Every structure is written in C-alpha cells, then in structure tokens.
Structure 1
Amino acid sequence: MMAGSRVDLYAAIRRDARTGMSNRALQRKHGVGYRTVAAALESAWPKARKPPPKRGSRLDPYRDVIDGWLRDDLDAPRKQRHTAKRIFDRLLDEHEATGVVSYGMVRDYVATRRREIRIEAGREPANTFIPQEHLPGREAEVDFGEVAIRLRGELVTCALFSLRLSYSGKAVHRISSSAGQEAFFEGHAHAFNVLGGVPTGKIRYDNLKAAVASVIGFSRQRVEADRWTAFRSHYGIEAFYCQPGIQGAHEKGGVEGQIGWFRRNHLVPVPEVDSLAELNALIDVWDIHDDSRRIGSRAHTVGEHFSTEEPLLAPLPTEPFETGRWFTPRVDRYAQIAVRMNKYSVPARMVGRQVRVLLHASNLVVFDGKTEIARHERLMTKGGTRVDLDHYLEVLLRKPGAPPGATALEQARAAGRFTPVHDSWWAAACKAHGDAEGTRALIEVLMLHRHLPHDQVVAGLAAALNAGALTADAVALEARKHDNSTEEAVIEISGEPLASQEAPAVRSLTERRLRAHLPADDRPLPSVEKYDQLLASRRENPNKGAAP
C-alpha cells in the first residue's frame, strides 16, 4: 500500500475488517500493532492534529484577465489566438506578474478553462448521451444547489443538499446556511437515516471542497479531505468523482435535474419562515409526498420503486458520526468569540477564558467544559456579529448608561424579543425613578425571561404599566397572575366540564385548590381557650404577687 495519511490507513483496516479478516491478519497485512487495529475498528477518525487549511493559488488575481483574453479569442482568427505561452508572457509584461505565477500554473489553467469558455458560448458541438441502467440499492448522486428564502422577513441565499438514489429516483433534501463540510456531512447523515441504509455501490460527486482537497491533473484521481475519508469509512461509502466542469455535470444529471425540479415545485413562491429548522420540517413532508410522482415515462411511482430498493441498502452503522467541527476560541473583552470570521456572544462571566464550540451547518453550540452556555443560529455572511442581550445583563446592572446604544439591545429589538411594551415600561420607569434606577429596574425585568416564558413577561409588563407599577417585583407578580389565569383550557366542577374562559380568574390559593379537586383542609381552627383560663385566674387574684 502506498504511503498515505493515518486516516487512509484506518479506512483500509476498516474495509478489510468488513471482509472478515481477523485482527492478527490485519496486523500482518498493514504492518501495524494490535493497538492501531483496535483504534481503527473503534473509530474511523484517528486522534491526530488537523492539517493546516489549504492556501489559495497565486493565479487567483489573474483569472478574470485570462478569461477575458480567452473570450476575445472566440472571434479571433484560428491561427492568431492566445497560446498558454503568450498568455504567460502578457501577464509578465502587462500585469507585473514576474515571480508571482509560473508557466505551469498558466498552462494547466488555460487547458481546462479554454474549453469551458467555448462550451459556455455555445461553440462546442452537442454531446451525445448514452442511456444508463442502474441496479437497485447500489448507486446514488449528491450535489448542492442555491436557493433563496425569506428568513424572518429578510431575503437570504442558502444551500440545498440533495442525495438521489439512481434506481428509484428517491431524493432527500436538506437546507443549510452554507455548503461547507458540516452541511455536507449532516446532509448525508440525514439522508441515510431517512432512507434506512447506505447504497452498496458508488455515489457520484463533483469536486466539492468539502470532499476533495485537490484534483490530480485531468484524471479522476483526487486528494480527499481527511475528515471526508473518515466519514466515508464510517458509513462504507464508495465515492466516484465526476470530471470537472460541464462534462462532469452530465455524469450526475439525475441529481442536477432533481434540484431544479424541487426548487421549481416547492420553493416557488419564495418560502417565508422564521428558522431553517421550520423549513427543513416542511421539506421532510414534501419529500414524502414526492414519493407518489412518476419520473418521465416510468410505469411506477418513486415510492413503488423505492420499496424494491430499500431492502437492498447496506445497514447503517451502530454509532453516529459527529458531523460538527470543534473549535476552541478565547472569549474577548466584549464577551464574544470568533468562529469562521464571525463573532458570537457568550455570558460575560466567560471573558478571557477559553471555550469549546461545536459548529454545525446552521447553528453553533458553546460549551464551558461539558456545560452548554450559549447557542446561536449560524451567520450566513462573513464579518457579522450575533449577540444575545441576556449574556450582558449582569454587566448592564453595573453600567446603566450602556443599554441605549448597545448592539445586543438593537438585535433584540430586530428579533422581536425586546418589544414596544418593554420600551414603554422602560420610559415610564426612567421618568418615575430616574434614568439609572429605571434602567436597572428594566434589567431586572429582563432577567425574568430566564425563568418565565416571553409572552408571560410581556403580559406582566403591560399589566404593570397600566397599573402604574414600575418595579420588577410588580412585573413578576403580574406575570405569574397571567400564568395562573390561563394555565387550564378546560376545568371540571361537580362532574360537568366548564370552559376556562367562562370561569373567573383564580386569585387565591384556596380557590385554586378547590378547582383542582385537592383534598380539603379539615384540620380544626386554632383555639385560645387555655390562654383565656390564664386571664381568668389573674382577674380572681388581682393583688397576688403584689408588693406589701
């Protein structure tokens, strides 16, 4: 076996173990010890330092210039078009690329890009497609597509993951905030769980950065990302990489067409949702309904074909694979952490400390040791900041002048967590107690959200504002009254049901006990007869104990 990374070694050991080889045979074949074999069989991911991220090419700043010259060649005489050598010389002379790019870099780029530009302009002859037959349970195709959704009123672009079985056409979809490696893994894991197994043959991919670290020449050989190698080994996936460019898209035309069909039939008009989780729940329902459709001129539906294919899929692994990626950032003085060029808030008490972050496709979870301390929806753009007002409340108590211009307060307003009722009560409290004390009272009210539902606290604020009660204790009391008056939809008295809206609000513990049919308190009332006897004896001897 050729020398490779430790992940490749683990993958080879696990593959041979599936064929029934014993541990001793695995040790002899791969030249490793018992501990290495045991570790490989226990987990597909070795405990090793992650490699540094791949840097960009030095040719990147000149790609648009080269593309422009190649497009000009479309209308130039055949014998007067740019060669790779001529393009290289012009870069050195006209764009000061001396010592930056090499001839080999330019030659490899032009060899691929020239044909792509001719295809894009319609100058290449039409390709002839060969009909294919796919065996049930063996092949699948995977790809990402862009979709636009309206998330909390804002139009954003997301990534639509699709895994399609080639035989039945059964497809599973998943939307995430990006097409990164986390979304790539989560899409696979979700699809395999829905399908109930893994294709036993090959799954077709293009050259996604989540899976492919680099393409070797013009062949189908690829240098895979280590985490992708471990993921494939965990599920037993056999990957087939398509050719780069338009030709590669034709090799997995099923999933390419499936994404377009799904986008046109389910995402038009643009869906409006409050979260990606809500949209993915709708997508799961749409995928089930799509089982009843027929593809092309097929005699059977997708669901009928899948019923034949499902028993032939390979079983799922017994243990899940962690699709998220761990980071260990340090909390800065603004109580924020930097993850993937974005910043997220954590509780202010964590300033200066190092935390653990598990990054998923659409959210991230922050841990202090094993305790979860924050959870955020993942930002979709770079250079953004997402903060939670609750993380800064203890600091704002000591700095009552900070809230009016705080970023956390503005984001809470935009998200609807800080309502106009909060603003009205805050203004009234500042007018009654002064700006500093009124703001401190507001912060105490905001702390109630940690223990009471949001709607309940807002109702308490409104009731306290109408009553002129401008203290946090009054808001807490009104919020709990609101909870007591609406906690039961239907109550029953003397065996007859009575709607709660017809019954008066519960205002005392005794009344609430009666409505809940708790046993009555039949203990006797306290008596003071013995004390009366003492008073009577004192009246009979008024001078007893007096001084002579």
Structure 2
Amino acid sequence: MLVLETVLRIRREHASGKAIKAIARDLHLSRKVVRKAIRAPEADMGYRREVQPLPKLGPFQARLDALLEEDEARPRREKLRLTRIHDLLLREGFDGSYDAVRRYAARWRQAQRRDVMNAPAFIPLLFRPGEAYQFDWSHEDVEISGKPMRVKVAHVRLCASRAMYVRAYPRETQEMLFDAHARAFAFFGGVPTRGIYDNMKTAVTSVFTGKERVFNRRFLVMANHYMVEPTACSPASGWEKGQVENQVQTARGRFFQPRLRFTGLEELNGWLEAECRRWAELHQHPEQKELTVAQAWAAERAVLQPIVAPFDGFHESEHAVSGTCLISFDRNRYSVSARVVRRAVQVRAYADRIVVRCDGEVVADHPRFFGRDRTIYDPWHYLPVLVTKPGALRNGAPFQGWELPPALARLRRKLGTGDDADRRFVRVLAAVLDDGLEAVEVAVREALLAGVASDDVIVNILARRREPPRPLTIVTPEDLALRHPPRADCNRYDSLRGLHAAA
C-alpha cells in the first residue's frame, strides 16, 4: 500500500501536466497504481474487503447468529459475555479463536443497529429548583445475615440539584412505596411540587392514550397529603425520567458492587443513606460546574415545600380472626386480642409493622415478618383466656419463652412450679386486666421487698390502692370542745363494785 506522501506526490505531478507513464517510470510503480492514486477521492488509498472470508467460523455462522439474537433479547442483567458465547461454540465443535467471534459479533451488532437517520432524537430537559423529582424501582442482590437476598430498591432523585436517595425493601408493594416517599422527603428536607413516575401498578390503575391516567386512590391521597402533582411517563419511554434511570445504573455500580453484606436491612439502609450523602459531597453538578451536588442540594432545599407531617402510609385489608385468636396475613399468622375472636378485623400493613383494628380500636400491633409459615404471638393477647384456663400457662404455645417484666419474672420463680403455682401466678396476671400492668408491677415489687411472694398479699395491695382516700377535714378549736362534759360521780363506780362483789 502506498504511503500518503507518495500518493500526494503522484497527484501533484499529474496536476502539473506530467504523463502517467513518466510518473510510473520515475517512482518505479505500475501505471495501474498511478491511475488509482490519481482517481482516489481525498487521496484515500485504503483497502476495503468486499467479502469477509470465514474459514473457521463459516460452518458455525448460523449457530452464532442464533446465539447473538437470543442474547440481544435478554434483559441487561442476563446478557452473556462473548467469552461465554465462544465457550458454547467450542462445546459444539468450533476450533477457532475468541478474536474471530469477537470481530464477527461487533460487525453483527453494527448491522443490527438502526440507521443513524432513523435513530430517536431527544430534547435536553431543564428543571427549576424545587420543581420535580423522579421515582423508580430496581432489583439488587445483597447478602443479609449470611444468606443471599434480592432486595427491591427505591430510587428518588431531585431533578434540579441531582441529589439522590436510595433505600432497600423486601417487597415492592404500596406500603413500601409510601414509606420510601416519607423517608426520601425527610432526607431531602422538603417536598418538590411534581413527581415523575412510570406506570407501576402501585400508583397507576389504568393507562389511556397519551398522558391520561387513572391513579390509584391511596396513591392520590398520599400525593394530596404532600401537595405533589403526579405525572406518569409514556409506556416504554424511560427517557422521560432519564435522571433516575441513570441513578439506577450509578447506584448499582457504585453501591451494590461487589455484593454488599450486612446483618439486616436496617443496617444496609443506614449505610446506603450515608453513601448518598457522601456521593453528593464528592460529585460535581453536571450543569453548574462550580458547585457540588451537595451545594446545589442545599440551595434547592430552601425552596422545597415543608413537610407538615409524614403520611400514614398503610395498605388496608380485611381478615377473619380464628378461634385461636390468630389472623393470616402475607403467608404468616399473627395473634390478636382474645376479645375479637371469630370477628372481622382490618389489617393496616406498613413497611415494618402491621396494625390490626376492630371497630376503630387497635387490637394488635406487631413487627412485620417477611418470611413465610411463621406464627407471631403476643402472650398478653391471650390473658383473658388464660384467666379461665390457668392450666394452659405451662404448655400454651403463646407462653413459651415469654419475656415477662423483671418483677413478674422474679415472682414466678419464687412461686415455683406445679398446677397450684400456675393458678396463683395467673391470679396475679388477671389483675392486669383491671389495674394495668404498671400497677401490678408496683404491687409485686412491694410484696417482694417485704419478703412475701403471695398472690393474696399482692391482690390485697392492689385492692387497698383502689379504695378511695378518706376526705381531708379542717379541725378547729371549737370542734375539739366537748359537747357533754364528764360528771364526777363515785356512786356509779361503787355500784359497779357492788354488782361484781355480789357475783
């Protein structure tokens, strides 16, 4: 191949009138090469192969095309590396190199790519401080208490300052959505006026043509509480919330790789919150180069709407109480107060707890468990039943491993074991229904300080405290004066002596 200097010399001499034959003789070139150099546009003498021979890959070209097409349809997380595709071909008899597969895959993907003229074009967006935020979910792999777990991660991003908030949850349900908003707004220090979402089922009930949507009722209640205008993107149009889409990739690469290991979700979320602050302090704002994200965030915080109060973000459902004072919720069972047995109750599910209500009264409040087939008891729920069935104290499932208050635990040890001891202890517990746990604890401590471990004494102490106090009176000297002054009459004494003497 001719060097560029030779090509330029040929073109220059030919332009000055020198014959092609003379140029070929002087430069020791064939006349065909000289003519090609003269006709080449912009002195481009590069060689372009019209047909690429595939001596090794040819018999496996159809199989490689199929593998590349299957891989193109996979989600990004599941795509195969070219080294893996090369290994699959080797298993089927291919004996070519990895570079041959890599070069072919590059040409194949370039051919599959859309024509540049038909590629979608976008308009850069600009948001005022406090105007909008974007929300999205992602799924990430972590290790909790030594076990692999795929968590659902809520991403919230302020559009103007680019501040990010990331929090992990075990589920992607509506109560988790509400909790993520409450925590994100508290983290940002205020609320923007508009929220941008995709068409997730926890927020959008129906999707119509254009931007018309029917939002979920509870979601609208939350938006109204924070004075936020919800906006849904067009289906399959992630660029309409490109900032949070980019945040998902950023958080995955910077926070979740390599795989995080924590003892619990609370510890993980505390670390993620600290990393969000650190990221804001270390990174430059993409548009305001003189500011960091943290500095832009501080300026935007001043124009955010204030948070009046956190939204009561629960998801409510109705359940029936069984004869064993249990309800089934989310593949687990929870105890409720015995006074609502065989009745319908309303379960309010929060991100970290469940609250059970009946006729507007709370009858149970449990930390939420996200496993399955587990029964969560509160022994105090069964106290009204235990009063009538004291024998259940020994083998009743709710009372196994019961962590009693210190005074009651000490009283039970002193009472000993056996049916009689159980009845006496249950008699003390029964007083909790009328006097309350605090009053019973005080009475038990008083009895134990006196060296007495008796249910009768404790019940007596509680009864005395329930008696109304005697009214206080003001005593004056007139009240102390005798209304009937005594008379000195010795005959009365003598008459009594005489009677006794006669007896």
CA displacement, residues 284-305 of structure 1 (integer Å, 9 cap, x when unaligned): 9848954871215864233310
Q: C-alpha separation between the residues in 2 aligned to 1:232 and 1:528?
A: 72
- In structure 2, relative to structure 1, the CA distance for the partners of 1:408 and 1:159 (3 Å cut) is farther
Whether contact under 8 Å (1:430, 1:437) holds in the other structure is no
In structure 2, the residue matched to 1:115 is: 74
In structure 2, the residue matched to 1:300 is: 291
In structure 1, the residue matched to 2:373 is: 383
CA displacement, residues 507-542 of structure 1 (integer Å, 9 cap, x when unaligned): xxxxxxxxxxxxxx99689998849943x5464644
Whether contact under 8 Å (1:396, 1:443) holds in the other structure is no
Q: Please tell me whether Structure 1 or Structure 2 has the larger radius of gyration of its CA atoms.
A: 2
CA drift at 1:544? 8.7
Report the aligned-residue RMSD. 5.9
Residue 469 (structure 1) aligned with residue 453 (structure 2): yes
- In structure 2, relative to structure 1, the CA distance for the partners of 1:241 and 1:540 (3 Å cut) is farther
Residue 186 (structure 1) aligned with residue 179 (structure 2): yes
In structure 1, the residue matched to 2:389 is: 399
In structure 2, the residue matched to 1:338 is: 328
In structure 2, the residue matched to 1:357 is: 347
Moved more, 183-192 or 429-438: 429-438
Whether contact under 8 Å (1:390, 1:447) holds in the other structure is no
Helix, strand or coil: the match of 1:390? helix
Residue 210 (structure 1) aligned with residue 202 (structure 2): yes
Q: Kindly tell me the number of residue pairs found equivalent between the two proteins.
A: 389
Q: C-alpha separation between the residues in 2 aligned to 1:538 and 1:343?
A: 86
In structure 1, the residue matched to 2:164 is: 171
CA displacement, residues 401-426 of structure 1 (integer Å, 9 cap, x when unaligned): 2122323223x64xxx3378755643
CA drift at 1:238? 1.5
Identity over the aligned pairs, expressed in percent?
A: 21
CA drift at 1:184? 0.5
- In structure 2, relative to structure 1, the CA distance for the partners of 1:146 and 1:230 (3 Å cut) is same
CA displacement, residues 376-409 of structure 1 (integer Å, 9 cap, x when unaligned): 2222123332221111011011112212232322
CA drift at 1:349? 1.1
- In structure 2, relative to structure 1, the CA distance for the partners of 1:284 and 1:260 (3 Å cut) is closer
In structure 1, the residue matched to 2:100 is: none
Residue 418 (structure 1) aligned with residue 404 (structure 2): yes
Q: How do 1:134-149 residues align onto structure 2 when only pairs under 5 Å count?
A: 134-137=126-129, 138-144=131-137
- In structure 2, relative to structure 1, the CA distance for the partners of 1:162 and 1:118 (3 Å cut) is closer
- In structure 2, relative to structure 1, the CA distance for the partners of 1:449 and 1:342 (3 Å cut) is farther
Moved more, 441-450 or 369-378: 441-450
Structure 1: stretches of 5+ with no match in the other structure: 1-74, 84-109, 479-520
Q: C-alpha separation between the residues in 1 aligned to 2:327 and 2:319?
A: 6
- In structure 2, relative to structure 1, the CA distance for the partners of 1:539 and 1:302 (3 Å cut) is farther
In structure 2, the residue matched to 1:507 is: none
Q: C-alpha separation between the residues in 1 aligned to 2:439 and 2:272?
A: 29
Helix, strand or coil: the match of 1:293? helix
CA drift at 1:356? 2.5
Residue 452 (structure 1) aligned with residue 438 (structure 2): yes
Q: TM-score, normalised by structure 1?
A: 0.53
Q: C-alpha separation between the residues in 1 aligned to 2:154 and 2:254?
A: 13
In structure 2, the residue matched to 1:434 is: 420
Amino acid at match of 1:171: M
CA displacement, residues 258-278 of structure 1 (integer Å, 9 cap, x when unaligned): 47656689x9773679xx6x9
Residue 367 (structure 1) aligned with residue 335 (structure 2): no
CA displacement, residues 454-475 of structure 1 (integer Å, 9 cap, x when unaligned): 9x679939x8299351427549
In structure 1, the residue matched to 2:429 is: 443
Q: C-alpha separation between the residues in 1 aligned to 2:382 and 2:366?
A: 15
Q: C-alpha separation between the residues in 2 aligned to 1:307 and 1:438?
A: 63
CA drift at 1:199? 4.2
In structure 1, the residue matched to 2:399 is: 409
CA displacement, residues 40-76 of structure 1 (integer Å, 9 cap, x when unaligned): xxxxxxxxxxxxxxxxxxxxxxxxxxxxxxxxxxx99
Residue 238 (structure 1) aligned with residue 222 (structure 2): no
Q: C-alpha separation between the residues in 2 aligned to 1:255 and 1:373?
A: 41
Q: C-alpha separation between the residues in 2 aligned to 1:530 and 1:319?
A: 69
Q: TM-score, normalised by structure 2?
A: 0.56
Whether contact under 8 Å (1:171, 1:287) holds in the other structure is no
Whether contact under 8 Å (1:231, 1:321) holds in the other structure is no
Whether contact under 8 Å (1:198, 1:237) holds in the other structure is no
Residue 270 (structure 1) aligned with residue 262 (structure 2): yes
Q: C-alpha separation between the residues in 2 aligned to 1:421 and 1:154?
A: 39
Q: How do 1:472-487 residues align onto structure 2 when only pairs under 5 Å count?
A: 473-474=457-458
CA drift at 1:308? 3.4
Q: C-alpha separation between the residues in 1 aligned to 2:335 and 2:216?
A: 31
Q: C-alpha separation between the residues in 1 aligned to 2:71 and 2:213?
A: 19
CA displacement, residues 88-113 of structure 1 (integer Å, 9 cap, x when unaligned): xxxxxxxxxxxxxxxxxxxxxx9898
Q: C-alpha separation between the residues in 2 aligned to 1:323 and 1:378?
A: 15
- In structure 2, relative to structure 1, the CA distance for the partners of 1:260 and 1:79 (3 Å cut) is closer
Q: C-alpha separation between the residues in 1 aligned to 2:423 and 2:147?
A: 37
Q: C-alpha separation between the residues in 2 aligned to 1:232 and 1:112?
A: 41
- In structure 2, relative to structure 1, the CA distance for the partners of 1:446 and 1:287 (3 Å cut) is farther
Q: C-alpha separation between the residues in 2 aligned to 1:260 and 1:330?
A: 46
Moved more, 193-202 or 178-187: 193-202
Helix, strand or coil: the match of 1:361? coil
